[in-house]
A and B are shown apart, each in its own frame.
Chain A
Amino acid sequence: MSASILTVDDSASLRMAIRIALTGAGYAVTEASDGAEGLAKATATRFDLIVTDLNMPNMDGLSMIRALRQQPAQAGVPIIFLTTESDDAMKAQAKAAGATGWLVKPFQPEQLIRVAQKVLAR
């Protein structure tokens, strides 16, 4: 079975781009438009990978990552966050919150797929 990936982003275009890229690479993609929805979906189903934006309304990416890492079931689930720029402070915060890695926007679909392959256990 193909790995399942949850993408959390408030930008519809970006979600769409991520879904198209990852679906094309053979993954099953679920979308959420903010942290709260992402948390709800990830709590309901365990995903193999979560790709999330940080700056989102309602519940930001950091809070969502922290909340997810509180759940024992989420231990070991790779979480990749997207940053619009290389903000080291943000990166450190996200890492401290329990994120696995990051992807700097803008990215090409291949970069996204490469990162997904990097963190997904083979």
Chain B
Amino acid sequence: MNGEDPAAAFRVEAGELLEQVEQGLLDLGHRLDDMGLVNAVFRGLHTLKGSGAMFGFDALAAFTHHCESAFDRVRKGDVRATPELVDVILSAGDHMRALVDGDAPAAEGQAILARLAAAVDAAAGGGASTPTVSTKRGWTLSFRLPPDAMANGTNPLALLDELRELGEATIVARVDDVPSLGECNPAHCLIGWDCTLIGDISKDAIEDVFLFVMDDMDITITPLTVEDAAPVAEAIVEEVIPTAEPVAANDAATRTARTQGENVRVPAERLDELMDRVGELVIAQSRLSQLAAHGHDLSLRSVSEEIERLTGEMRDTMMILRMVPVSTLFGRFRRLIHDLAIETGKAIELVTDGETTEVDKTVIERLFDPLVHIIRNSCDHGLETAEARLAAGKPASGVIRLSAHQAGGEVLITITDDGRGIDRERVRAKAEANGLIQPGQAMSDDELLGLIFHPGFSTAAQVTNLSGRGVGMDVVKRTIESLRGSIDVKSVDGRGSIITLRIPLTLAIIEGLLVRVGEGRYVIPLAAVEECLELSLEDDLRSRGRSLITLRDTLVPFVRLREMFATGTRPDPFQKIVVVATGRERVGLVVDQIVGNHQTVIKSLSAFHRGAASFSGATILGDGSVALILDVAQLVAMAQPQEEMLRAAG
């Protein structure tokens, strides 16, 4: 938000309000009788209309007014909440978003209002006519304020002044109830007043003076001319909410308000800027550490260590600042599921858990598209129709479960469906038809399922509207891998599928293991490192041609980075193996020297170098030189074919 523009701030808030309204509507879709939800939605629309009008969003206010009125009637029991109504207001919400952004087609609004009118189409209640207010020649008033009025901030003198402004006023104080000085509490208002007001004054104007104290005070207002009957004093305040639940704890609105807590809103770019600064600081600090370590100045060394500690803490705090709960991501899928259920005609339920798990904001944003695609796929291919489900002895409604939890430096996101599972025969047939595999080629189950991530793969015989959006699961896989994550699929026939995404918590800074290969230095993400060991001479010799070591009774393939990087220098006498893992796959990376831990600020590679498959980025070392960051997933994938060949051979 920049400085002084309430409209800009409103745009942000309107987005949140619409989100709340949408959540409320989606809940309401399941519990049509829940008046708490009806009220929550109404309040959201009401605030949106009101604030919209205040900040000059007139089209939004006018449009929202219709939706609000419709909901007002639901609130009053005049109209029943129906799935159609919920659906129309959901579309209306999308239109309101567009109105907030100022690019809404007017025709769309008209169409929605027409649908709304049709959906409401109810027995008209007929608005109550507002009582007309007659003017008089004058009034006599007699009033006494509540005793605590003064303590509560009402200034009687200000009220009397206001009366005097209305017309010619004669005011007399009644002091009969004022006790003797000794017993008098100066904060209590014990004086009554009688007042005659002459002039063409409406009763409303008088009541307006006492607006805030009217309910608690004794007041009589009588017209000076008795013949003209005064209208019965109506409550000045607007209508009462008929079914206001005292504790609306279930309201989406309240819930969100609570989870928001005490927050300071900062534009994301500023956080990124700060992140960059912290990154530069980390680099400068590691140079300082290196200088201090090589020098002999003890005091410099202690300062350097202090700065190292502080920088580390600052980096950690910075990381936390960038973290947002996955609920912000999961919440957006409820609408998707709602729409998918309508499009596919299947009953679909979304269950989420672990929403409080926090992930770097950038990661969250980049996860959205892949997840949309996975969920679409699960709903479209995975879940069966209600009839098929019932026939298979399952509940009619399919369940898509989204869950998140943190494991070490990674967050695991799983998307589970309880549908028919992936048809392995069809996957195989399709892959053979597309030439991805040889007919009859022996494959492990994981490999077979992994084929769905191959470019251009699609199992649906007929590309439906949902899945056929031009992107395949290969794009999903690539996106996840670009986040330095991995994707894994499991499926049980007739029971459903689970897709697991493992994503690093952050993209900006990682703990790395600095290694040397020849003269080059490389960083291996520490999260992927399982262990480091020495490559024994016999393994080294024996493994010529078959690059495998035995690690606690398991064969682990290894890659000689010297060979891979075509290093010309003499190898160090004792080669080291860094065992890295992604998912279940483990691979040893043979290096010359393990230098040590390195706090790695990731700089992305230039477009020119991006094709280099084995590297995910670069970092700047303390001495100013560049180290490339190894892309562990790629290296593991490269090592696999060798293992396959071995397995096939014997």
Contacts and interface: CB of A to CB of B under 8 A. Distances in A.
Contact of A57 (B7, B240, B261): B261
A80 to B, nearest CB: 8
A30 to B, nearest CB: 16
Most buried by A among B5, B9, B152, B153: B153
Query: Ordered nearest first, which 6 A-B pairs have the shortest CB separation?
Result: A106-B50, A101-B212, A100-B153, A78-B153, A86-B238, A13-B9
Interface string B602-637: 000000000000000000000000000000000000
A13 B152 contact: no
Contacts of A4: none
Nearest to B253: A55
Interface in B263-321: 263-265
Nearest to A84: B47
Interface of A: 10-14, 16-17, 20, 33-34, 36-37, 55-58, 69, 75-79, 84-89, 91-92, 95, 98-102, 104-108, 118-122
A65 to B, nearest CB: 9
Given A20-B6, A58-B262, A91-B237, A119 B153 contact: yes
B339 interface: no
23 contacts: A13-B9, A55-B254, A55-B257, A57-B258, A57-B263, A69-B151, A69-B152, A75-B150, A75-B151, A75-B187, A79-B153, A86-B239, A89-B246, A91-B237, A92-B215, A99-B153, A100-B153, A105-B50, A105-B54, A106-B50, A106-B51, A118-B162, A122-B158
A39 to B, nearest CB: 13
Nearest to A117: B158
A57 B238 contact: no
A95 B157 contact: no
A17 B151 contact: no
Contacts of A58: 261-262
A101 B211 contact: yes
Interface of B: 1, 4-7, 9-10, 12-13, 43, 46-47, 49-51, 53-55, 148, 150-155, 157-158, 161-162, 187, 211-212, 215-216, 237-241, 244, 246, 254, 257-258, 260-265
A36 B240 CA distance: 30
Most buried by A among B6, B246, B265: B6
Contact of A105 (B51, B161, B244): B51
A76 B237 contact: no
Nearest to A88: B240
Given A77-B153, A100-B154, A119-B153, A106 B54 contact: yes
A121 B54 contact: no
A36 B13 contact: no
Most buried by B among A55, A99, A118: A118
A57 B265 contact: no
A55 B255 CA distance: 12
Contacts of B154: 78, 100-101, 119
A54 B281 CA distance: 43
A87 B244 contact: yes
A89 B261 CA distance: 25
Contacts of B151: 69, 75-76, 98
B257 A57 contact: yes
Contact of B262 (A57, A101, A108): A57
Contacts of B187: 75-76
B361 to A, nearest CB: 19
Contact of A13 (B55, B240, B261, B264): B55
B210 to A, nearest CB: 10
Nearest to A85: B46
B164 to A, nearest CB: 12
A100 B153 CA distance: 5
Given A17-B55, A102-B212, A108-B54, A12 B155 contact: no
B53 A106 contact: yes
Contacts of A75: 150-151, 187
A105 to B, nearest CB: 5
A64 B162 CA distance: 29
A76 B215 contact: no
Contact of B265 (A12, A17, A76, A100): A12
Contacts of A34: 262
B241 A87 contact: yes
Nearest to B238: A86
B237 A12 contact: no
Contacts of B51: 11, 13-14, 105-106
B155 A121 contact: yes
Contacts of A121: 155, 157-158
B13 A76 contact: no
Contacts of B4: 16, 20
Contacts of B50: 84, 105-106
Nearest to A11: B13
A46 to B, nearest CB: 12
Contacts of B162: 118
A11 B43 CA distance: 15
Given A12-B265, A17-B54, A100-B152, A85 B9 contact: no
Given A58-B262, A88-B240, A118-B162, A12 B1 contact: yes
A58 B211 CA distance: 30
A57 B155 contact: no
A17 B8 CA distance: 11
Contact of B237 (A16, A56, A88, A118): A88
